[in-house]
Amino acid sequence: MPDWHSPSELERDARIGNRLTCVWTGLYLWEIVTSLQFERDLMLRKRVFRWSLAPYLVCRYAQIISLICYVYTEAAMSQFNCPVLYAVVFFAELSTVTASVIFALRTMAVWTHRFVTACLWAMIVAVVILVLVSTARNRTQWNFVVSQCLYVDEGLAYAAIIRVRAYIMTFDAAILALVAYKLLAGFHARDNGNILRFVFGQGLLYFVVAFVGNAIAVGFLIWKPNYHVGLMATQPATLFSSIAACRSVRSLEKFMVRETKQIPRSLSTVTTGRVVLDTIMSDDDIHLDTMTSRI
């Protein structure tokens, strides 16, 4: 077994962590570039903007801001811009929270029970408060001995990260259990239509990816052979949760458009699951007047 706290091992682990961060940053930039058409359609009003898309946008760009800030801290950190480290943690946690919010909204869409919906909203509010309190209590300062920006109380900062990640993992587990139960029960009971088949076929995989990623991150945080290794799994967990949540939103939007195009040429209002599409048909094409969804 290596001596995890020896100076050489700490330097080696820090170097590995920095290289992995560059890999995650490149991967996420590729994800952003290859899916920019979605934002372009929103800007050009080719796609209807709804309030449920706000967590999607926050999740995507909070994650990229966090990664860019982290790369900056490693490349050009000095005592004058030490607060950038605070931004790294804040935007990373914000991305993770909004990813869980996206999954929670999708869970609400397949549940009609008011108690379940109220509990999910309460958990969302609780995790937002926890993140704000945890990040607000962390302070950074420049260490002239090692020429690095460090937390004033590293133990307090690490404990705050564990609390946030453990809560998010529990939140994701509850969401996964709820949506899996509802979907499996629905399929055993009767045919519930295209929207339920879609969520079961694609959406459930995204829930699993988010939960497993956060569970691995919590495992590393608890194991913590040293500070660098303990935090090594948090970045990929945040990144893959963000990718899974955002892809689930885009795939659902594509599904809704595809379902709309299959509507017969007549004046109609079509309800597919919890998605309501009000359409006006013409001889030439289909005009989508309004599109509202709880997902």
Q: Which domains does the chain have, with CATH numbers?
A: 7-264 (1.20.1070.10)
When pLDDT is cut at 50, 70 and 90, the band that residue 33 belongs to is: very high
When pLDDT is cut at 50, 70 and 90, the band that residue 156 belongs to is: confident
210-223 pLDDT, tens digit per residue, is 999 999 999 999 99
The pLDDT of 87-95, averaged and rounded, is: 86
Residue 157 neighbours by CB under 8 Å, 6+ apart = 89, 138, 151
Q: What is the mean pLDDT of the chain?
A: 78
Distance from C-alpha of 92 to C-alpha of 238, rounded to nearest angstrom: 7
What is the structure's pLDDT at 124? 93
Distance from C-alpha of 235 to C-alpha of 220, rounded to nearest angstrom: 12
Q: Which of 237, 171, 180 is nearest to 203 (CA)?
A: 180
107-155 pLDDT, tens digit per residue, is 888 787 889 999 999 999 999 999 888 887 777 777 676 666 777 777 8
* pTM of the predicted model as reported, rounded to 2 decimal places: 0.80
Distance from C-alpha of 94 to C-alpha of 100, rounded to nearest angstrom: 10
> What SS3 class is residue 47?
coil
Distance from C-alpha of 114 to C-alpha of 201, rounded to nearest angstrom: 25
Length of the chain: 295
> What SS3 class is residue 185?
helix
When pLDDT is cut at 50, 70 and 90, the band that residue 203 belongs to is: low
Residue 55 has pLDDT above 50, yes or no: yes
Residue 291 has pLDDT above 80, yes or no: no
Distance from C-alpha of 96 to C-alpha of 130, rounded to nearest angstrom: 13
Lowest mean pLDDT among 39-53, 85-99, 253-267: 253-267
257-288 pLDDT, tens digit per residue, is 766 665 554 434 444 433 333 332 333 333 33
The pLDDT of 23-27, averaged and rounded, is: 91
Q: How many CA atoms lie less than 13 Å away from 234 in the CB half-sphere?
A: 28
Distance from C-alpha of 279 to C-alpha of 295, rounded to nearest angstrom: 19
What is the structure's pLDDT at 181? 85
> What SS3 class is residue 233?
coil
